[in-house]
Amino acid sequence: MRSFRCSAVLFCLLALAAAGCSGDRKSTKKLTCPTAFMAPNLDSYTVYRPGVSPSNKPEDISFGVKLIDVKSNCRAEVGGLRITTLLSFLAVRNDPDFRQGDFTYFVAIADVRETILAKQNFALRVEFAPRQKQMRVLDEITEHLPLKNVSTGDTYAVIVGLQVSQQQLDLNRERQ
């Protein structure tokens, strides 16, 4: 009888342990954040001097922007993740008569299959002081990623790049 009781107690303990392991794992997993990165060849934007055809010569460039850093973090919130992305740009001018420049960048969310789920464009304007040749520009974007399970955040990515024309993209590829 004693061995039956021990076996029954052991069986109950194993059943309880198994029930604990097979419970709702989603609620016990830790939060993971999407990786943020720059889209290949979409990290620079160039405006050429009037009357000059696009080239790789610095003297032909009037204004340029380079996306130099992307960092993101996230936190859980009702219905998913709140992702904060900090972007750092370097704006440069070669033409002393060039006072202000506009550029557009995008932030997109992609899933593990590299499907773009959402994309939004953001416009920035930089204004140079009379003798200023370059400046660092920071921008911060906050987005909501709807998720039932915040532990799946790392199966998504935040992709950032400058919105460029096909001609600009071809020049960026040549520079690589």
Residue 14 lies in a domain: no
Tens digits of per-residue pLDDT, 7-47? Answer: 333 333 333 333 333 334 444 579 999 999 999 999 999 98
Domain that holds residue 36: 29-175
| Residue 80 placed within a domain | yes
Give the pLDDT confidence score for residue 120 in this predicted structure.
96
104 with 121: CB under 8 angstroms?
yes
77 assigned to some structural domain: yes
Q: Is residue 5 part of a domain?
A: no
Model pLDDT, residue 13? 30
Cβ neighbors of 144 (< 8 A, separation 6 or more) are 77, 79, 80, 81, 82, 83
pTM of the model: 0.78
Judge whether 88 lies within some domain: yes
Look at residue 75 and tell me if it is in a domain: yes
* Chain-centroid distance, C-alpha 95: 31
- β 157-162/35-38 pair status: parallel
CATH number assigned to the domain comprising residue 109: 2.60.40
116-144 per-position pLDDT tens digit: 999 999 999 999 999 999 999 999 999 99
Q: Which of 43-52, 131-140, 151-160 has the lowest mean pLDDT?
A: 43-52
20 part of a folded domain: no
pLDDT number for residue 10: 31
Is residue 96's pLDDT more than 70?
Answer: yes
Q: What is the rounded end-to-end Cα distance, in angstroms, of the chain?
A: 79
Task: Give residue 123's pLDDT.
Answer: 96
At 146 the pLDDT is 94
Is 4 part of a structural domain of the chain?
no
Number of independent structural domains in the chain: 1
Amino acid letter, residue 104: T
